[in-house]
Amino acid sequence: MGEDFYDILGVSREATTPEIKQAYRKKAAQYHPDVSSDPKAEDKFKNIKKAKDVLTDPSLRKTYDQVGHSQFEQAQKQGGFSNTNFSGNPSDFFNNINFSTGFGNLFDMFSGGPSSAAPMRGKTLTLSLEIDLEDAYSGVAKTIHFNRPESCSKCSGTGHPPDAKTTNCPTCNGSGTITRTSSTLFGQIQQVITCSSCQGERVSYSKTCNSCSGSGVSMNKVEFPFQIPPGVPDSTTFLFQEEGAALKNGINGDLKVTVSIKKHHHFKREGSHIYYSCEIPFQDAVFGTKIKVPTLGGISDLTIPPGTQNGDTFRLSGCGMPQQGRKKSHGDQINKIRIPTPHPSNLSSEQKKTLKSFGKSIGEETKSGIFNKLKEL
């Protein structure tokens, strides 16, 4: 490989871009595989094209001139410079930085891709949504309404009418990138960044789209339907890839929807279990009974055993929230019993009399019990 890109095109190292282009056209006509009888014409033609592509791109040509032909070719084969090349020499460091940040251009250009290695992304949109516990239990289809920057329909997101004329972007001189130089401990570091005027497109247009003012994006009202699965935990964030904001020459950002569950006036949820508090009259707690309790899945029977104490809990197995990822598996409903004390103003004189005589009979035992305990101390 004795020939460098200048030799391939037969131009001097000082050749201007128009001179290089002219030399390319001549060589290309000579070695075009369709016309040339040279058996190596195809390879030669490829090299001519590559030489022209590099030397007519100001930032690539600068890099090429800095590192030389063999390093440039090697970096291309390896897919970029690695930091193992860094010897601690400031000028090496400089070259590495310059290369690794600016190199996306080179490979993209050879592969015919866009001018920036990693495509830019639109903004991530974040939304929140509140649902009822009942909906979290059964799962629910919801439609959220919001405004979203979308690709402009008038110019198909390009930002200009199809008949707009192009000229080289004056800011970056048509390179699509701008080189920033800053001083560091290692010396000067060059950073190649995407040109903000043309967003790496390398050109400016004679007209801009009057609908989006050239941004390529317009704000639209969106109805976004989505399905919330049964048993969804509180504060779950759903990620919808590329459903966020559009960006000219980029890919859409993501959409994130955080679902929270409203407080319920009867039920309290903890994980897959539901807590419910129910009142039973004193006599039912004494003798035991069967009561009906509401659950998220409907009414259920609950057996209260004789001698139930205030604060006792009874479990209804499988009456809690659906457990995510497990079919037909639910948590439990835990029922806490409350035994309210009746207020005397709500009692008839008959009831008061009965309660007093009951109290008296039970009180004798209690008092003697306490008295015996005191004596023991």
Residues that bind Zn ion (CB under 5 A): 152, 154-155, 169, 171-172, 195, 197-198, 209, 211-212
Give 177 or 190: the residue with its C-beta nearer to Zn ion.
Answer: 177
Q: Cα separation of 229 and 170, whole Å? A: 53
Query: At its nearest, how many Å lie between Zn ion and the CB of residue 208?
Result: 8
Query: At its nearest, how many Å lie between Zn ion and the CB of residue 112?
Result: 20
Give 201 or 243: the residue with its C-beta nearer to Zn ion.
Answer: 201
Give 126 or 196: the residue with its C-beta nearer to Zn ion.
Answer: 196
Query: At its nearest, how many Å lie between Zn ion and the CB of residue 87?
Result: 34
Q: How far apart are the first and last CA of the chain?
A: 107
Query: At its nearest, how many Å lie between Zn ion and the CB of residue 176?
Result: 6
Query: At its nearest, how many Å lie between Zn ion and the CB of residue 122?
Result: 15
Phi, psi of 254 (to 5 degrees): -95, 165
Give 9 or 246: the residue with its C-beta nearer to Zn ion.
Answer: 246
Pick from 254, 246, 25, 269: nearest CA to 136? 269
Query: At its nearest, how many Å lie between Zn ion and the CB of residue 249?
Result: 12
Query: At its nearest, how many Å lie between Zn ion and the CB of residue 264?
Result: 47
Give 204 or 335: the residue with its C-beta nearer to Zn ion.
Answer: 204
Give 114 or 294: the residue with its C-beta nearer to Zn ion.
Answer: 114
Query: At its nearest, how many Å lie between Zn ion and the CB of residue 147?
Result: 17
CB count, 10 Å around CB of 191? 14
Q: Residues 6 or more apart from 120 whose CB is under 8 A from it?
A: 194, 199, 247, 249, 250, 251
Give 154 or 180: the residue with its C-beta nearer to Zn ion.
Answer: 154
Give 69 or 160: the residue with its C-beta nearer to Zn ion.
Answer: 160
